[in-house]
Amino acid sequence: MTEGRNLPNGLMAFLANSPIFDSLNEADRGVAARLAIARSYRSNEIVAHYGEVWPYLFIVADGEVEAVKESSEGRSFHIATIAAGDVFWGLAFFDENAPMPVMLSAREDSLLYLWSRESMFPVLARNGGASLELCRFMIVRMQRASQIVEELAFQPVGGRVARMLLDQFPPGQGAVPRNLTLDEMAARIGSTREMVCRFLHRFADDGLIQITHTEFLLTDPDQLERLARQVKG
């Protein structure tokens, strides 16, 4: 990880494209830009550990950050991918001393701009619109968390694999690179690599997908969509 505090060229324009920072008045957007801590992370480097009190809000300038929950048995569950332009936060940014419920790690070489609770709260207090945008983002995250719980509780593994394929490899794009390992796929649906492998081969045998070592092709997205809508009996 490398860190700097100088104002990068174009940061003001970059922040203006974020609904949260665009809600700041121009003067406070300049304050936020000067308060930003630029940190670069290498692929797979930890941004924040599970259980850590991490009082920061950040925006991804480049790359991707992954939020992962790990079980006591060592299994991982993918919670969210935070892509370029997305905003995320540690719980301690809002609730002092609250530990991180997930681990954050860079999925690829990434650049983040971070703001501490202490530095950013006065800016948010002066800008109600930005606070409302943060609340809206929090509601979206809560809705996604509810959807994850619902999928795990009511959707069979085959349906979850089908939904993951539709989300990760949109139909109509031809063959697309396999950019996820079996372990990463399993982490996204709360299952095991063996189960993912089993359903991928079943879907291929049924003519729903074509698989090579490097590419995916969805050949029957309509049937995958039907499978993705199934619920447990």
Share of the chain residues as helix, strand and coil, in percent rounded to the nearest 5 = 45, 25, 30
pLDDT for position 109: 96
Mean pLDDT of 54-77: 87
Cα–Cα distances (Å) from 181 to 79, 147, 164, in that order, read 16, 23, 13
CA 151 to chain centre: 17
pLDDT for position 144: 76
Indicate the DSSP class of residue 93.
G
Sheet strands (E) in the chain: 2-4, 37-41, 46-48, 56-62, 64-70, 76-83, 87-89, 103-106, 110-116, 176-177, 209-211, 215-218
Q: What is the pTM of this model?
A: 0.69
pLDDT for residue 188 is more than 90:
no
pLDDT for position 108: 94
Q: Comparing 17 with 150, which gets the higher pLDDT?
A: 17
What mean pLDDT is reported for the chain? 86
Structural domain boundaries of the chain?
Answer: 2-152, 156-228
Q: Comparing 222 with 132, which gets the higher pLDDT?
A: 222
CA 199 to chain centre: 24
Confidence of residue 19 (pLDDT cuts 50, 70, 90): confident
pLDDT for position 114: 96
Cβ contacts of residue 191 below 8 Å, gap of 6+?
157, 160, 161
pLDDT for position 74: 67
What is the fold, at CATH topology level, of the domain defined by 2-152? Jelly Rolls (2.60.120)
Joined together, the tokens standing for residue 51 give 């259980």
pLDDT for residue 25 is more than 80:
yes
Mean pLDDT of 128-153: 77
Asked if 82 and 64 touch (Cβ cutoff 8 Å), the reply is: yes
Asked if 209 and 197 touch (Cβ cutoff 8 Å), the reply is: no
pLDDT for position 233: 52
86-111 pLDDT, tens digit each: 999 999 999 889 999 999 999 999 99
pLDDT for position 57: 94
CA gap 182, 201 in Å, rounded? 12
pLDDT for residue 60 is more than 90:
yes
**CATH number given to 156-228:** 1.10.10.10
Bridging pattern class, strands 46-48 and 37-41:
unpaired
CA gap 47, 57 in Å, rounded? 12
